[in-house]
Amino acid sequence: MHPLLERAKKVMPGGVSSPVRAFLAVGGEPPIVAKARGAEITDVDGKVYTDLVGSWGPMILGHSHPAVVEAIARAAHEGLSFGATCEREVMLAEAVLCRFPWADKVRFVSTGTEAVMSAVRLARGATGRSRIVKFEACYHGHVDSLLVKGGSGLATLGIPSSAGVPPALAELTEVLPLDDEQAADALFAECGQEIACAIIEPLPANSGLLVQRRSFLEHLRKLTRAHGALLIFDEVISGLRVAMGGMTEITGIEPDIVTLGKIVGGGMPVGAYLAKDALMTQVAPLGPVYQAGTLSGNPVAMAAGLATLKQLEDRQAYRELDARGAMLQRGFERAMERYDITGSVARMGSILWLSLQAGPPPRAWHQVDMGGAKLYGQIHRHAMHNGLWMAPSAYEVAFVSLAHGAEHIERASQAFERALEAVRKES
């Protein structure tokens, strides 16, 4: 074991600050990172990898983008935290709202988890109802009420729900399958009047990439509205990633609350939730729903978010991301064909997922063949060996960034092909 990993394990549970980083789902040793720049990440031994994880989503411009680093440095010189409103915060709020024009106000927090937790509280506070609905395989951060059947961490470790969540709280969370109008209809017919909100990743990307039919999302919009419940789109991954206005823009469906994270902080810890005035006036200090944060609206983090969004102002950036995603998809598919690996690549813009099963990529969790995980573990090990940093779980997606030029995509495709070749030799 690497001496640094040994030290890490002595002082941090599993040697990590977030579970999936420990590589338990794929086996092998997680490298300790020294630095990252552009499309590449370098470990403490100097080994360079083409990065397809992008810090799990935020690094849409690639690592250490010069404009972002400069903005951070400038902001840092002017103060690390004020505990008061600052100009960069106002500017980022404006930049976010102009991408979600139906929303009136945004509140900044520090993580995606916090954004979701606050959005659910707002929904409960505004409706005076307690029950909430989530969808199987959707991950919404480690919020107590939402740690039920969600996300790759739970999926790969085989944990249906987390210890430490009081049953009295978990009982208030109803879990529905994705892609199933009838199940949603049945639940709302039974207890629709008690439901504060339904929360969904409009592009579920935490348990594979389970692209939903627009008509299903539209159905949820009508159903929640008909029962006086709110609809929350958790766009922590998809917002600012698949289009400027995320899935809200792509589908044209207007939810009641959108949550953001990841990209909105440009690599610094920022989350946000946004809604119309009717809801946002319920939030303290204007209304009775309390929510606060010592480091919320942090000036250095706001600077990173602003500089990142500045680079994404042009729609051309999203066409570019889509083109690079398509290029990597072709590279992966070619390699799979060549080595006769059953599966396909599900993709939305710059988000890709290797679906290691026959037939079209699944839309719901019960359609996911868990048999692919072992093969993914083998591929992962050989990919890392060949300098391709892939997500350490069969159910996590890959991201490409604007820093992934044709040469990086080519290198990634070749490393992937060599990994498949090695896997074939093993079997």
Ligand X SMILES: *Cc1c(COP(=O)(O)O)cnc(C)c1O
Q: What is the set of active-site residues?
A: 139, 234, 262
In whole angstroms, the minimum distance from the beta carbon of 335 to ligand X comes to 27
Give the residue closest to ligand X by C-beta.
Answer: 112
Q: Is 127 or 207 the residue whose CB approaches ligand X more closely?
A: 207
Dihedrals φ, ψ of 132, to 5°?
A: -130, 155
With CB under 6 A as the rule, give the number of residues binding ligand X.
14
In whole angstroms, the minimum distance from the beta carbon of 235 to ligand X comes to 7
State which of residues 99, 131, 134, 140 lies at the interface with ligand X (CB under 6 A).
140
In whole angstroms, the minimum distance from the beta carbon of 411 to ligand X comes to 27
> Which positions ≥6 away from 413 have C-beta within 8 Å?
328, 330, 331, 332, 334, 335
In whole angstroms, the minimum distance from the beta carbon of 206 to ligand X comes to 5
CB crowding 61-73: b at 16 or more within 10 Å, else e? bbbebeebbebbe
Q: Is 146 or 327 the residue whose CB approaches ligand X more closely?
A: 146
State which of residues 51, 71, 113, 417 lies at the interface with ligand X (CB under 6 A).
113
**What are residue 40's DSSP bridge partners?**
37, 50
Q: What is the spatial distance between Cα 236 and Cα 141, in angstroms, rounded to a whole number?
A: 9
Tokens of 426: 């093993």
Would you count residue 248 as binding ligand X (CB under 6 A)?
no
Would you count residue 136 as binding ligand X (CB under 6 A)?
no
* Displacement of CA 216 from its chain's centroid (Å): 21
Q: Which stretch binds ligand X (CB under 6 A): 133-141, 346-354, 369-377, 387-395?
A: 133-141
Query: Where do runs of H (alpha helix) occur along 100-245?
Result: 112-127, 151-157, 167-170, 181-191, 214-226
Q: What is the spatial distance between Cα 180 and Cα 213, in angstroms, rounded to a whole number?
A: 10
Q: Is 51 or 114 the residue whose CB approaches ligand X more closely?
A: 114
By the 8 A CB rule, do 349 and 242 touch?
yes
Q: Is 113 or 224 the residue whose CB approaches ligand X more closely?
A: 113
Q: Which stretch binds ligand X (CB under 6 A): 217-225, 233-241, 282-290, 299-307?
A: 233-241
Q: Is 118 or 378 the residue whose CB approaches ligand X more closely?
A: 118
Tokens of 365: 């969790």
Would you count residue 112 as binding ligand X (CB under 6 A)?
yes
Integer CA distances (angstroms), 49 to 41, 344, 403, in order = 5, 24, 14
In whole angstroms, the minimum distance from the beta carbon of 111 to ligand X comes to 4
State which of residues 217, 237, 247, 302 lies at the interface with ligand X (CB under 6 A).
237
State which of residues 30, 96, 111, 379 lies at the interface with ligand X (CB under 6 A).
111
Q: What is the spatial distance between Cα 407 and Cα 413, in angstroms, rounded to a whole number?
A: 10
State which of residues 40, 43, 174, 234 lies at the interface with ligand X (CB under 6 A).
234
**Residue appearing with tokens 């606050």:** 118
Tokens of 24: 């338990």
Q: Is 86 or 115 the residue whose CB approaches ligand X more closely?
A: 115
Determine which helix (DSSP H) or strand (DSSP E) holds 188, and give its type and residue range.
Answer: helix 181-191
Would you count residue 266 as binding ligand X (CB under 6 A)?
no
In whole angstroms, the minimum distance from the beta carbon of 332 to ligand X comes to 22
Would you count residue 201 as binding ligand X (CB under 6 A)?
yes
Tokens of 266: 């440009």
Q: Is 341 or 364 the residue whose CB approaches ligand X more closely?
A: 364
**Residue appearing with tokens 């019960």:** 366
Would you count residue 236 as binding ligand X (CB under 6 A)?
yes
HSE-up of 382 (CA within 13 Å, CB side)? 19
State which of residues 118, 145, 152, 206 lies at the interface with ligand X (CB under 6 A).
206
By the 8 A CB rule, do 101 and 164 touch?
no
In whole angstroms, the minimum distance from the beta carbon of 312 to ligand X comes to 18
| Local structure of 79: helix, strand or coil | coil
Tokens of 22: 């420990």
Would you count residue 257 as binding ligand X (CB under 6 A)?
no
**By the criterion CB under 6 A, which residues form the site for ligand X?**
111-113, 116, 139-141, 201, 206, 234, 236-237, 261, 271
